[in-house]
Amino acid sequence: MGSLLSKRFVAFREKEKSYFKSQASLTFVNEAIKTILIIVLCFVAVVTIISVASKDPISALKAFFFGPFTDTYSIEQISEEALPLIFTGVAVCIMNKAGQCNMFVEGGFFLGAFLSAWLAPELAGWPSALIPLICIVTSALASGLIGYLPAKMKSSLHISEFVTSLMFNYIVFWVVMFLLHDFASDPDVANKTKYLESFMKLPVLDEDTGFSIAIFVAIVVAVLGWVFIGKTVWGYRLRMTGDNEEFARYSGINTGRVIVSSQVIGAVIAGIGGAGLMLGGSRYYRFEWSSLPNYGFDGFVIAIMANNNPILSIFASFFLGYLRVGASKMSVLSDVPDQVVYIIQALIIIFFGAKLAIRFVKRRKQKASKKEVTP
Amino acid sequence: MNFFSFFFSENFLIQSIAYAIPLIFAALAALISNKAGILSINIEGSMSVAAVVGALVSHFSNSWIAGLLAGCLASIAMMMILAFASSTLKTDPFLTGIALNTMASGLAVLCLSLCTGNKGSSAEYPSVLVPNLHIPFVSDLPVIGKAFFGQNYLFYLGLVSLLIVWLVLEKTKLGASIKGAGFNALAERSVGISVTKTRYFALAFAGLFAGLGGCYLSMASLSFFSTGMVAGRGFIGIAAEAMGADNPFLSVLFAYIFGAVDYFAVGAQTVLSVPYELLNTLPYAMTIVALVIYSLVHFSREKKKALGGLKA
């Protein structure tokens, strides 16, 4: 009798498993269709905006859509645009998963870029394999150190990390400007750091265009981020805190520590990203930014498109990189300025946000209708 | 000129008020949207759109009233996108706000380059300035004359807005329903008030204030729009509102203090031998310090309350 029951139980479990699997694949297909629909909607919006803004919309659209694929240089350009976005996207994914709204990714990225560009020429006598490594580690540590401040204020004083991290961005910006003008600038070129020789930068794969291994570093960071969130105990604690902080605390998780560590990890990744762009980007030979580069906010766009999944954020970054290269091609070849791409980004966020909401509302409606059926 | 004569001068009083005007409007915008339960962080973006639209329209129509109206309408339109996305499409207002800020920075430069062909500033197309108040005799009084009776029109509009916000929130039905939407939206819905409609109203007000603050920057403080001229003032307004703990008068007071620090960073460059880059960090550092102090005081008060409860 017992064996029969257990057999039936096993059969039931199998049925249940296959049911959930089919459900999962169904939702995956559903999600994919919706995502494609959103992208199509965005493209419709793009076509409309460009048609309004341009006198010769057809050539502008052509440059926008097909420009990025005309030669290998443009294709490498896409990966170059994607490089900073992957880092900031992964950083935002990790903080979002922990339920934290920290904006310091912007400042950390800026700080990392500056420190690495300042430090690398000073280390000129060192072995060339060590220089980028030391620079990246220094940038990561510095960024993490400052990222610790808003995190600690959140966890022990309950001050919204959103406002404080924004303020830290501006403070970091002005302090970097001070250091750049008074200490770090090249004696021959005002307000720029010293020239970065090729042996100070990350190894290059394509000599002609300066395409370097930085993009692979970014992909490794994204994969590590995915493993951290999805496959480790720390990641589990982090997700639990993000889903329901009260519940996490009552089940014995030190949520304060999770809040601090998630924001510090995000800041560290942002610092690595800044250094990676400075030392691995083909267009960067000096640090010469005179305003915040906005990559931190772009990280939020990536995280929303990727649904806070670091692996998907790689694809999202390449997509956004494609849009940006297209926009810059278009601004060269036609009369449409490349700021159009920011409007497209905003539409993407709003549409994706609406997608999440629609799913949520549907689920609630289903639940409600079920309740009505059962007395 | 030494430091003390700089700090205790008539000019400091005048300029600190002038620097506080955009922050006062930003704080009011943050206040009314916060009361309705939507933290609208796109005040920053709305301000920059209003600044560019106000500057350009005032130049081409040759009238500051038209510029002000157009700037406010543009800002309200930006806020309406937030209202539509968050109330009707049910997106997360925080993320939508970030999106709208990004969109605003693109939109501002797009408008600028389409109208003037320049992506940096509209200096070649100077905007018509909003005039300063001048009452004969009263404005010429020593010390307080120019500081309180000779400011820009927008300063007085700001004070009137403060009173209106307070009156609306405390004395009218609309204010009660705005506060209800923020306090408990479900309860409000259950008594038959449309939360969505209320939030649309509140965000329209927030857009109006953000627009006035933005227009002040490009139509009174300077005579042109330049990219990045808002420079976090919207966010500082949100911080001032947080410090003021949802009280309109306290929020405006903190906005004034932040404005004074803002002017201090600019004005002290001539009297202090500190690099201007480091002085520029002051408004932001001060915001953080103020938030920390506020939180510490708040905590000790809460503790005392808890202890008092135990004794009783």
Residue among A246, A303, A354 at smallest CA distance from A101: A303
C-alpha B79, offset from chain centre: 14
In contact, B210 and B46? CB cutoff 8 Å: yes
Q: pTM of the entire structure?
A: 0.82
Report the CATH fold assignment for A38-48+57-373. ABC transporter involved in vitamin B12 uptake, BtuC (1.10.3470)
The minimal CB distance from B85 to the residues A291, A304, A354 is found for A354
Q: How far apart are CA B35 and CA B55, in angstroms?
A: 30
Q: How far apart are CA B219 and CA B237, in angstroms?
A: 19
Residue B145 corresponds to which tokens in the numbers above?
């004359």
The sign one gets for the Cα dihedral A195, A196, A198, A200 is positive
**Is the pLDDT at B57 greater than 70, yes or no?**
yes
Which chain A residue is nearest to residue B94, measuring alpha carbons? Answer: A101
Residue B189 corresponds to which tokens in the numbers above?
């819905």
**Which of the four pLDDT bands, split at 50, 70 and 90, describes residue B165?**
very high
**Is the pLDDT at A176 greater than 80, yes or no?**
yes
What is the ipTM score, two decimals? 0.79
Over residues A182-236, the pLDDT tens digits come to: 888 888 887 888 888 888 888 888 777 778 888 999 999 999 999 999 899 999 9
Q: How far apart are CA A27 and CA B108, in angstroms?
A: 39
**Which of the four pLDDT bands, split at 50, 70 and 90, describes residue A305?**
confident
**Which of the four pLDDT bands, split at 50, 70 and 90, describes residue A142?**
very high
Q: How many CB pairs under 8 A join A and B?
A: 137
In contact, B129 and B220? CB cutoff 8 Å: yes
**Which of the four pLDDT bands, split at 50, 70 and 90, describes residue A375?**
very low
Contact flag B280-A174 (C-beta cutoff 8 Å): yes
Residue among B254, B244, B218, B256 at smallest CA distance from B18: B256
Task: Give B105's contacts in chain A (Cβ within 8 Å).
Answer: 294, 339, 342
Say whether residue A101 is in contact with chain B using an 8 A CB cutoff. Answer: yes
In contact, A293 and A164? CB cutoff 8 Å: no
Contact flag A163-B291 (C-beta cutoff 8 Å): yes
Phi, psi of A206 (to 5 degrees): -120, 105
The minimal CB distance from B95 to the residues A304, A341, A345 is found for A304
Residue B217 has what DSSP assignment?
Answer: I
Over residues B241-270, the pLDDT tens digits come to: 887 878 899 999 989 988 988 888 888 777
**Which of the four pLDDT bands, split at 50, 70 and 90, describes residue A332?**
confident
**Is the pLDDT at A15 greater than 70, yes or no?**
no
Over residues B66-116, the pLDDT tens digits come to: 999 999 999 999 999 999 888 887 777 887 888 888 888 888 888 888 788
Task: Give A295's contacts in chain B (Cβ within 8 Å).
Answer: none
Residue A300 corresponds to which tokens in the numbers above?
């939020």
**Residue A290 CB coordination number (10 Å):** 9
Ordered DSSP codes for B106-157: HHHHHHHHHHHS-SSB-TTSPPPPPPBP--TTGGGSTTHHHHHHSSBHHHHH
Contact flag B92-A346 (C-beta cutoff 8 Å): no
Over residues B125-149, the pLDDT tens digits come to: 888 888 888 777 777 777 777 777 7
- In chain B, what are the domain boundaries? 17-136+151-231
**Is the pLDDT at A368 greater than 60, yes or no?**
no
Contact flag B41-A162 (C-beta cutoff 8 Å): yes
User: What whole-number percentage of chain B has pLDDT above 70?
Assistant: 96
**Residue B165 CB coordination number (10 Å):** 22
Over residues B266-299, the pLDDT tens digits come to: 887 777 777 888 888 888 888 888 888 888 887 7
**Cα atoms in the Cβ-side hemisphere of radius 13 Å centred on A263:** 29
